[in-house]
Chains A and B, each alone.
Chain A
Amino acid sequence: METRLRPRQNPTFDYVRSPDQSAAASAHHLVVIVGAGPVGLSMAIDLAQHGVRSVVLDDDDTVSVGSRAICYAKRTLEIWNRLGVAAPMVDKGVTWKVGRVRFGERLVYSFDLLPEEGHRMPAFVNLQQYHMEEMLVARATELDGIDLRWKNAVTGFDQTPDRAALTIDTPDEPYTLLADTVIAADGARSSLRALMGLDFEGRVFYDQFLICDIIMTADFPSERWFWFDPPFNRGQSALLHKQADNVWRLDFQIGREADPELETRTDRLVPRIRAMLGDDVAFDIEWASVYTFKCRRLDQFRHGRVLFMGDAAHQVSPFGARGANSGVQDADNLAWKLALVTKDLAPDGLLDSYDDERGRAAHENLMNSTRSTDFITPKSPISRLFRDAVLDLAEHYPFARPLVNSGRLSLPTRYDGSPLNTPDAHVFACGPAPGAPAIDAPLANGTWLLEQLGGQFVVLYFGSSDQAPPVMVVSRVPVSIVAVDPESQTAARYDGQPGTAYLIRPDQHIAGRWRAFDIKKVETAVGRAIGLEP
């Protein structure tokens, strides 16, 4: 049972010289996206589906090295489904819903995410980031209008009120591009953020974590196992989580003083892993790395012609799977807005609502990931005392279980109070309120509600299709109609009494809802949702 190092061979993508590099004058594009990671690629795909071309620049020529982000939440999968890329991820990935929390030698708590039946997407799917990125690259490549340029590193930036200018290093000579809008999706060490001299402040955490992917065929269940103070890693935490291809994620807290170089050596890793999994488990090591993290954000996500998203805009701890998930939701929020502005169908001010809505999400994600971090790595004796008391009590008493915090797993942010919302004028017993994401449900024809909504403005009307309002165009923006039976499961989820209408945005968040369809009210609400109305 000799353990081998089996590093994964990543695919590489060819650098292709663009005609822009030989142009006499700098080429001018509507949208340039910096960063071909999960967030930049999701943005490019979403824009392409809205008919907006983009150039995507990446300083590398491959996908993620190591599994990195592994855990994708239902809302993110729903977005990727709209982008035509969820199916291979769900097929390849590992669907899970049970988590177990251990304290010392004891199992103190198990949870079941108890996904409600009747949703197209599962609660969570685990998949290595390199697979996920490769699937996004494949989708981006099959769509028209995405000009993906590998080995293009941004080294210079300036902007006027009308356009941004980027200087780009390539394997050939450097060149310059002009853009109406630049999307900074270039990660936690964003080069654009540095070139623009923007502050990126927040809390720095000094605890080190050893992350390791192993390949094993052991018969562990597809569950998330978290240990506080396990016998094999005293005084620290540990995590075991399954990924695709029999790859398992191990994560060990190793304290502030540990030497990262030493801890990632095979002769140290193997006994550590054997202590965790037992001596009779055969495994190989695919990847190991030591990380620390910071919880921080940009104060503003929009800086003139540049919009920041994903880790370039906000960085969280890994506990709670809020990094990649929130980044993809950033793209979901901005793509339709930028598409309308680019087509001159909405005012430029609509882009400011991206900062407002996703700023709330960043606040929520930072708060949750910081709280999880404080629970997992107590910073004072009293904090450890309460943490251990909660874990002890959780074994015996249900009341303590909601206090156990091994990561509050990502839920979609509701844009409560957004200026794009039309507040409720009627009482609804349930259903997504203005600002909340639409809830999926199976439809009578065997399809799914969220798939029917697609990526444009929709009126979801509860009533027969012959009573439903006609397709509309509000200030040149098309609004389609989806009519649903008031006796259906969808109606139960939306309090969809006959005549009820929901106006749903292209990102499938609710813009407004009424007990009766009134074209004037819907027109006003569409206007507000595209930034035309106060």
Chain B
Amino acid sequence: MTENLNLDPNLDRPDDFYEALLNTHYGLSEDKSRDLNARLILILANHIGDMDVLKQALNAAVPPPGESSGA
């Protein structure tokens, strides 16, 4: 049975997480932040493990046609 990517709220404390995420980036150059993001994605992907779920996540992250990220 294929597991589905969870796109419903699942963080216990979303505001705490968001603050911790930005604090981890605090003071880094844009290059260093980009590197940190890449490492973070790989670490989280490994934790998920399931290739079907990861494929769904990759698809979910691609913006719909005509919608640019940021305004």
Q: Which residues of A contact B (CB under 8 A)?
A: 103-105, 228-229, 368, 371, 374-375, 380-386, 388-390, 392, 396-399, 401-403, 405, 408
Contacts and interface: CB of A to CB of B under 8 A. Distances in A.
Contact of A398 (B8, B15, B21, B67): B8
A383 B28 CA distance: 11
A398 B26 CA distance: 27
Given A380-B25, A388-B71, A402 B30 contact: no
Contacts of B26: 380
A392 B67 CA distance: 9
A380 B67 CA distance: 23
B1 interface: no
Nearest to B14: A402
Given A374-B22, A383-B25, A405-B15, 20 more contacts: A104-B71, A105-B71, A228-B71, A229-B71, A371-B19, A380-B25, A383-B22, A386-B22, A389-B69, A392-B63, A396-B60, A398-B7, A398-B9, A399-B7, A402-B11, A403-B11, A403-B15, A403-B17, A403-B18, A405-B18
Tell me whether chain A's interface is mostly helix, strand or loop, or mixed: helix
Nearest to B24: A382
Interface string B1-45: 000001111110011011101100110101001000000000000
A267 to B, nearest CB: 28
Nearest to B10: A399
B65 interface: no
A380 B60 CA distance: 26
Contact of A399 (B8, B15, B28, B69): B8
A382 B26 CA distance: 9
B25 A371 contact: no
B9 A382 contact: no
A399 B25 contact: no
B49 interface: no
Nearest to B34: A382
Given A392-B63, A399-B10, A371 B15 contact: yes
Nearest to A381: B30
A103 B63 CA distance: 15
Contacts of A382: 22, 25, 28, 30, 33
5 contacts: A380-B26, A382-B25, A382-B30, A399-B7, A403-B18
